[in-house]
């Protein structure tokens, strides 16, 4: 769980990364930056900064910001209320992203699975995204991703996002951010 000072620090870092990537935010968007620490208490290792521009039925647009070497843990977007689950396209804007999805595992994985969480990472088909490269993840597909040594900015275009319905491989994860008072 983050405290308010940490939350503000990571929001400022996220805004700075977006600015360096040439992505301009309105003051309202900057104030609404979500910091997902997944309840693990190790944001710089497993976490994600997000800006959601729009999330309606039937589409969503977000910016995802990862610190150097930071990982978004393995998860899937299951069917919800008769929909097949979220289909998302990741387009790298800055940095380098190692994306892992279901399928034939890479002979050697370039990302480093977060220490202590190895049991919760199970898919290793590797897609490397550099600026201008993109990949579409089908609904209900296990995936995880990690930034390279300089961090990364990824634009996400998807069907409706229902983050509260995401299923993480790691049962310790709490998707909704919680901020400690004080």
Percentage with pLDDT > 90 across the chain: 93
Looking at residue 118, its pLDDT comes to 98
What is the architecture, at CATH level 2, of domain 2-176? Sandwich (2.60)
Q: Across all residues in the chain, what is the average pLDDT?
A: 96
Q: Residue 131 phi/psi, 5° resolution?
A: -50, 130
Grouping H, G, I as helix, E, B as strand and the rest as coil, residue 181 is coil
Looking at residue 182, its pLDDT comes to 61
Whether the predicted pLDDT of 9 surpasses 90: yes
Residue of higher predicted confidence among 102 and 163: 102
Q: What is the pTM of this model?
A: 0.96
Whether the predicted pLDDT of 179 surpasses 80: no
Looking at residue 122, its pLDDT comes to 98
Q: Which of 2-6, 30-34, 77-81, 124-128 has the lowest mean pLDDT?
A: 2-6
**Tens digits of residue pLDDT in 63-114:** 999 999 999 999 999 999 999 999 999 999 999 999 999 999 999 999 999 9
Domain ranges of the chain: 2-176
What lies within 8 Å, CB to CB, of 115 at 6+ separation is none
Tell me the pairing of strands 60-66 and 48-55: antiparallel
Q: How far apart are CA 30 and CA 54, in angstroms?
A: 14
Whether the predicted pLDDT of 166 surpasses 70: yes
Mean pLDDT, range 47-72, rounded to an integer: 97
What lies within 8 Å, CB to CB, of 138 at 6+ separation is 87
Looking at residue 177, its pLDDT comes to 65
**Tens digits of residue pLDDT in 11-45:** 999 999 999 999 999 999 999 999 999 999 999 99
């Amino acid at each position: 769980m983050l405290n308010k000072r940490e939350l503000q620090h990571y929001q400022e870092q996220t805004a700075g990364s977006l600015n360096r990537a040439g992505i301009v935010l309105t003051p309202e968007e900057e104030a609404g930056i979500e910091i997902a620490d997944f309840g693990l208490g190790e944001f710089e290792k497993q976490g994600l900064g997000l800006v959601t521009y729009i999330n309606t039925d039937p589409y969503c647009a977000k910016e995802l910001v990862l610190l150097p070497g930071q990982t978004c843990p393995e998860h899937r977007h299951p069917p919800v209320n008769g929909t097949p689950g979220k289909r998302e396209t990741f387009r790298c804007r800055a940095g380098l992203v190692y994306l892992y999805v279901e399928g034939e595992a890479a002979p050697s994985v370039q990302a480093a699975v977060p220490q202590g969480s190895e049991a919760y990472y199970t898919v290793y088909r590797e897609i490397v995204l550099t600026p201008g490269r993109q990949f579409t993840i089908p609904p209900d597909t296990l995936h995880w991703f990690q930034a390279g040594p300089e961090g990364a900015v990824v634009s996400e275009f998807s069907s409706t996002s229902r983050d509260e319905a995401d299923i993480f491989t790691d049962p310790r994860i709490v998707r909704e951010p919680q901020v400690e008072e004080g």
